[in-house]
Amino acid sequence: MDAAAAADRRRVQRAALRAGLWVAAASAAVVAAIIAIIVVVMLATARPERGPHGSRGGRGQRVVDLDSLVPVAIAVGVLGVLVLGVIAWWASRRAAQPLADALRVQRAFVADASHELRTPLTTLTSRIQLAQHRAQRGGDVGTVLDGLRNDAAVMDAVLSDLLQAAEFAGARPSDRTATASVPGAAHDAIAVIEPRAAARGVRVALEAPAALEVAAEHASLSRALIALLDNAVRHSPDGAQVRVLAHRAGARVEIRVVDQGGGIVGIPPERLFERFARAADAGGTPAADAQGGAAPGGDARGGVAGERRGFGLGLALVRDIAMRFGGSVRVERTSPEGTTFLLELPAPAAR
């Protein structure tokens, strides 16, 4: 049994133990309360024993009226059963909480992994088609094979990062010392997005100091930038430009992804970072994309006709990554001329 499975087993055992103790303590308290109430009622309703001729009995003996006691005992017993039922229900919910958390993490991992692999797989498909096209014409496929190897490495890094995030359910010990090159992660992200961008004539430009670093994992930063660039390219008109601008701002590093799409409509910008949140089209139905507005060569939602459907996970994953390393992400500006996303992360020296 690995460490993660052992930790899950211990969590379930602790939750079951706590639930058992709660039920035992609550049962003892309810039984004690029932006994106390019955005793009080007995003492309150008891009367002195009378002799054969109506005289008081000797030795201070008292008589309990069962006709008055039995209904009270039955009512108190029923109430005690109801209280114990509520306590048992509450304790069972507490005991099952680790299982609910595990199912939530499992569903989140499946959704995140499926979403994160869509872009690299799309890039792989594009490169394979390009390789086939060149091979049929006797052209050089060496550069395409190099790109395929890089795409496979990106997919491996994405899967490893997702598996580690699921294992540690959030921040992991290595996050405290992680450092990543912003230009390096940006180049990896651009390499994944470039085939889809080039197919529509969208140019992706990077402006960042060569030595700029952030306190984050390289694979996680690449994932965040891939999601932001994928969103920007998807909502850019043909022939537009997407810019990645990064610079140091005090103890933080600011990374902006600027597109020339139609802006965000149909949803408050801050809600874009919620899971499965998507903009609405003109008819009020969920749109395929995160941004809206009309753009040249696109549909009424600002996306391009024929683009793959979005599920509202990419920007939520960017937010999760930013928060994991003590950063943030937000929509800095949006208008019919374009949208700017601002990703802020701590600089290594400010950790």
Query: Domain spanning 180-350: which CATH class is it, in words?
Result: alpha beta
- Residue 329 pLDDT exceeds 90: yes
Return the higher-pLDDT residue of 37 and 247: 247
CA distance 30 to 23: 10
Q: Which pLDDT does position 127 carry in this prediction?
A: 78
Q: Which pLDDT does position 286 carry in this prediction?
A: 38
Question: Does the model's pTM come out above 0.85?
Answer: no
Q: List the strands of the sheet with 203-207, edge to edge.
A: 203-207, 241-249, 252-258, 338-346, 328-335
- pLDDT tens-digit readout, 178-201: 899 999 999 989 988 888 898 889
Return the higher-pLDDT residue of 8 and 338: 338
What is the pLDDT confidence band of residue 331, given thresholds at 50, 70 and 90? very high
Q: Which pLDDT does position 37 carry in this prediction?
A: 82
Q: How many residues does the chain have?
A: 351
| CA-based nearest residue to 329, from 290, 272, 263, 250 | 272
Which of 23-32, 121-130, 317-326 shows the lowest per-residue confidence on average (mean pLDDT)? 121-130
Residue 266: exposure state from Cβ atoms within 10 A (0-12, 13-18, ≥19): buried
Q: Which pLDDT does position 302 carry in this prediction?
A: 41
- Residue 284 pLDDT exceeds 70: no
CA distance 281 to 288: 9
CA distance 302 to 334: 13
CA distance 294 to 287: 13
Q: Which pLDDT does position 2 carry in this prediction?
A: 61
Q: Which amino acid is at 309?
A: R
The first and second tokens of residue 69, run together, are: 């006691």
Beta carbons within 8 Å of 195's beta carbon, 6+ residues apart: 123, 126, 127, 130, 147
Return the higher-pLDDT residue of 159 and 29: 29
Q: Which pLDDT does position 293 carry in this prediction?
A: 39
- Residue 77 pLDDT exceeds 70: yes
What is the pLDDT confidence band of residue 282, given thresholds at 50, 70 and 90? very low
Percent of the chain with pLDDT over 70: 72
Question: Tokens 């114990």, residue?
Answer: 84
Please state whether beta strands 180-181 and 213-214 pair in parallel, antiparallel, or not at all (unpaired): antiparallel
What is the pLDDT confidence band of residue 228, given thresholds at 50, 70 and 90? very high
CA distance 4 to 109: 15
Q: Which pLDDT does position 292 carry in this prediction?
A: 46
- Residue 151 pLDDT exceeds 80: no
Q: Which pLDDT does position 303 carry in this prediction?
A: 47
Q: Which pLDDT does position 4 carry in this prediction?
A: 59
Q: Which pLDDT does position 229 carry in this prediction?
A: 94
Q: E-assigned strands of 81-239?
A: 180-181, 203-207, 213-214
Q: Where are the domains of the chain?
A: 3-104, 180-350
**3-state class (DSSP) for residue 330:** strand
What is the pLDDT confidence band of residue 306, given thresholds at 50, 70 and 90? very low
Helix (H) or strand (E) holding 332: strand 328-335
Q: What is the DSSP string of 208-260?
A: --TT-EESS-HHHHHHHHHHHHHHHHHTSPTT-EEEEEEEEETTEEEEEEE--
Q: Which pLDDT does position 320 carry in this prediction?
A: 86
- Residue 136 pLDDT exceeds 60: yes
- pLDDT tens-digit readout, 80-104: 888 888 888 887 777 777 777 666 6
Q: Which pLDDT does position 202 carry in this prediction?
A: 94
Please state whether beta strands 241-249 and 203-207 pair in parallel, antiparallel, or not at all (unpaired): parallel
| CA-based nearest residue to 112, from 321, 289, 341 | 321
Q: Which residues pair with 249 in a beta bridge?
A: 252
- Residue 120 pLDDT exceeds 70: yes
* Rounded average pLDDT over 153-168: 69
Q: Which pLDDT does position 289 carry in this prediction?
A: 43
Mean pLDDT of the chain, nearest integer: 77
- Residue 266 pLDDT exceeds 50: yes
